């Protein structure tokens, strides 16, 4: 049997992750300092963990309903109203998923047919293109630029739209750039979309990590609610990555379609995680704010540090990443990251892992203690001094 021939060509042709090589090198370096992690360094707050443990003690080990515990859906709706002014009906406009990732996958699968085009601002998180391809759609990247603060501009959006365009992915606050979209930015996007049938998948997993201002969802812009699916989750805001819990909110017909896929492929999201999440929604606002305040301190320290080193660095106003331009080193993203790792034992992620337009940049995560960040900055300084 030719094992390669049995694989689906869609999967065979899927690009492998751009970090495999670095992961292998860094895994063999126990003393390396990593700024490569895309998850919080905080442990899930104890009262949330305790709620999960309590649910196990109570023997709550069964499936929940396909769309998730009613109480959790209600709490999510209250939370979204309280924090972002979004209004959803817990009965039919919310689906609890296995992380934001599942929500993205089944949203795309629910909407995209073969031949449809999906617009994806880049650099951005890596799952949108493969999910689009698995659904038979065509991923159309829209390059966002450093000089435009990595925002999606109305002009770039307009230019990318064709009669085949079905869906726009809106990944803000953005991983890896840390860019955000303000209300004004979103109104311009809404203006472009309002006379079309294009839907929006707004990936707002980093919404709570927005600095100096409050996150605005495009679903809150007039006329956008019914065509937007808001995807979010517990991983970043509540430091709950390993619990694998997210949610999607949107038009009942779309959420219904997503629930169909979800019930056949997943059945329901992990029950223990759902009980823990109820506690997070009810009593977790203080945790979110404390963690966001800490990230904000680190953000300023790493931004200032990178700029002092001489790397030009746009000020990220969301998520927990900085995305410095490494032009002065004369190295490509891959070379920069590989040499930095081998010579200074500091791991960062090459910008082109997030799309071709990320070439010339690196992603540094600041989900680390200020101590670790300062140590890494010292080493990056030595490295850049050598190559500039």
Partner 1 sequence: MDMQEKILRLLENDSSYTHEQIATMLDIPVEQVKAAIAEMFEKGIILKYCALIDWEKTEREFVTAQIELRVTPQRGEGFDKVAERIYQYPEVKSVYLMSGGYDLGVTIEGRTMKEVALFVAEKLAPMECVISTKTHFVLKKYKQNGVVFNKPQKDERRVITL
Task: Answer for the pair 97, 255: CB distance below 8 angstroms, yes or no.
Answer: no
Place of tokens 């823990």: 276
Q: Which residue of 7, 23, 260, 289 would you call a contact of partner 1, by CB under 8 A?
A: 23
- Residue 77 to residue 250: CA distance in whole angstroms: 11
Task: Answer for the pair 27, 19: CB distance below 8 angstroms, yes or no.
Answer: no
Which residue, 19 or 179, is less far from partner 1 as judged by CB?
19
Q: Which residue of 108, 190, 219, 349 would you call a contact of partner 1, by CB under 8 A?
A: 349
- Residue 13 to residue 385: CA distance in whole angstroms: 40
Pairing of strands 117-122, 94-97: unpaired
Residue 69 has, within 13 A of its CA and on its CB side, a CA count of: 22
Is there binding between residue 353 and partner 1 (CB under 8 A)? yes
Place of tokens 């999201």: 269
Select the span of 26-34, 87-95, 128-136, 215-223 touching partner 1 (CB under 8 A): 26-34
Select the span of 30-38, 64-72, 99-107, 195-203 touching partner 1 (CB under 8 A): 30-38
Interacting residues with partner 1 between 288 and 347 (CB under 8 A): 297, 300-301, 304, 347
Q: Per-residue x/- mask for partner 1, residues 363 to 382, rule CB under 8 A?
A: -------x------------
> Least distance in Å: CB of 179 to partner 1?
17
- Residue 385 to residue 383: CA distance in whole angstroms: 5
Place of tokens 């990593």: 34
Q: Which is it for the CA torsion 88, 90, 95, 96, positive or negative?
A: positive
Which residue, 69 or 347, is less far from partner 1 as judged by CB?
347
Which residue, 275 or 383, is less far from partner 1 as judged by CB?
383
Total number of residues that touch partner 1 (CB under 8 A): 26
Centre a 10 Å sphere on the Cβ of residue 264 and count the other Cβ atoms it contains: 9
> Least distance in Å: CB of 374 to partner 1?
8
Task: Answer for the pair 361, 321: CB distance below 8 angstroms, yes or no.
Answer: no
> Least distance in Å: CB of 116 to partner 1?
25
Which residue, 314 or 321, is less far from partner 1 as judged by CB?
321
Is there binding between residue 172 and partner 1 (CB under 8 A)? no
Q: Which residue of 12, 27, 65, 283 would you call a contact of partner 1, by CB under 8 A?
A: 27
Element (H, E) at 370: helix 370-387
> In the complex, which residues of this chain contact partner 1 (CB under 8 A)?
17, 19, 22-23, 26-27, 32, 34, 36-39, 41, 125-126, 175-176, 297, 300-301, 304, 347, 349, 353-354, 370
């Amino acid at each position: 049997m030719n094992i390669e021939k049995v694989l689906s060509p869609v999967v065979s042709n899927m690009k492998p992750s751009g970090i495999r090589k670095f992961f292998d090198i860094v895994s063999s370096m126990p003393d390396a300092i990593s700024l490569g992690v895309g998850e919080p360094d905080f442990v899930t707050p104890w009262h949330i963990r305790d709620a999960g443990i309590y649910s196990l003690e109570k023997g709550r080990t069964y499936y929940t309903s396909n769309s998730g515990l009613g109480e959790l859906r209600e709490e999510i709706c209250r939370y979204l109203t309280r924090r972002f002014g979004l209004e959803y009906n817990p009965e039919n406009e919310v689906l609890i998923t296995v992380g934001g990732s599942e929500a993205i996958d089944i949203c795309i699968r629910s909407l995209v047919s073969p031949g449809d085009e999906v617009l994806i601002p880049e650099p951005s998180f890596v799952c949108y293109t493969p999910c689009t391809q698995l659904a038979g759609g065509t991923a159309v990247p829209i390059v966002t630029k450093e000089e435009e603060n990595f925002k999606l501009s109305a002009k770039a959006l307009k230019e990318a739209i064709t009669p085949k365009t079905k869906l726009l992915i809106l990944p803000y606050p953005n991983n890896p750039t840390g860019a955000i979209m303000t209300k004004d930015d979103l109104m311009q996007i809404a203006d472009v979309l309002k006379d079309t049938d294009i839907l929006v998948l707004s990936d707002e997993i980093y919404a709570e990590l927005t600095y100096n201002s409050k996150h605005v969802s495009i679903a809150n812009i007039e006329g956008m609610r019914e065509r937007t699916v808001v995807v979010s989750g517990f991983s970043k805001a509540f430091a709950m990555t390993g619990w694998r819990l997210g949610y999607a909110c949107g038009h009942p017909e779309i959420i219904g379609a997503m629930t169909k896929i979800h019930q056949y492929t997943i059945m329901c999201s992990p029950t223990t995680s759902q009980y823990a999440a109820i506690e997070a929604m009810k009593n977790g606002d203080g945790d979110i704010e404390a963690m966001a305040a800490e990230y904000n301190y680190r953000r300023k320290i790493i931004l200032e540090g990178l700029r002092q080193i001489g790397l030009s660095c746009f000020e990220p106003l969301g998520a927990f990443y900085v995305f410095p331009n490494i032009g002065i080193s004369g190295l490509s993203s891959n070379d920069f990251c590989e040499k930095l790792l081998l010579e200074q034992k500091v791991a960062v992620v090459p910008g082109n892992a997030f799309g071709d337009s990320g070439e010339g940049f690196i992603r540094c995560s600041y989900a680390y203690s200020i101590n670790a960040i300062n140590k890494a900055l010292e080493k990056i300084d030595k490295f850049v001094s050598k190559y500039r």
